[in-house]
Amino acid sequence: MKLTSKGRYAVMALVDLARFDNINPVSLRDISLRQGISLDYLEQIFSKLKKNQIVQSIRGTQGGYILTKKPNDIKLTNIFHAVDETVKTVQCKKESKKGCNGKATKCVTHNLWDELETHINSFFEKKSLEDLLKNNKDQRI
């Protein structure tokens, strides 16, 4: 199962972006400085966010990134999915197509991880960038 700092950085960066993109696009350099995340690493992350139509890029001086949707329409599940933070667990060996570990039948945990994935996604589908913004409105980021 993967849920690491790449996903955390993506969320932090997008919240930062959502707070500052009122007028102008926000550069990764600014986000890097404010959030304390390596610029080179941010570029990797935003490349994926762009491919998944979560952000849009504007090149050149005064360029940067802007959100493609309203913060309320960007759920955390979209963000995690974009940066490959899949809540996908270690699968059974798929040597035979119907069984696990070379057995004829499914193992007892075969469906368990699927249920878990559904359960976790239901958590992240409810949470949007907007929610995180509200929670931190009084705080300085």
Partner DNA sequence: ACTATACTTGACCATTTTAGTCAGGTATGT
Partner DNA sequence: ACATACCTGACTAAAATGGTCAAGTATAGT
Chain positions contacting a second copy, by CB under 8 A: 1-5, 8, 11-12, 15, 35-37, 89-90, 101-109, 111-113, 115-116, 119-120, 123, 127, 132, 135-136, 139-141
State the nearest-atom distance from the C-beta of 103 to DNA, in Å: 15
* Interface size with DNA, residues (CB under 7 A): 29
Closest to DNA by CB, 90 or 108: 90
Closest CA to 55 of 28, 85, 87, 84: 28
- What CA dihedral angle connects 22, 63, 18 and 73, to 10 degrees? 100
What is 40-94 written as a DSSP string? HHHHHHHHHHHHTTSEEEE-STT-EEEESS-GGG-BHHHHHHHTT-----PPPP-
State the nearest-atom distance from the C-beta of 138 to DNA, in Å: 27
Closest CA to 9 of 48, 35, 47, 33: 35
Helix (H, G, I), strand (E, B) or coil at 67: strand
Binding partner of residue 23 among a second copy, DNA, none, CB cut-off 5 to 8 Å per kind = none
Binding partner of residue 29 among a second copy, DNA, none, CB cut-off 5 to 8 Å per kind = DNA
> Of 14, 15, 16, 46, which lies in the binding site for DNA, with binding defined by CB under 7 A?
46
122 binds DNA (CB under 7 A): no
State the nearest-atom distance from the C-beta of 83 to DNA, in Å: 10
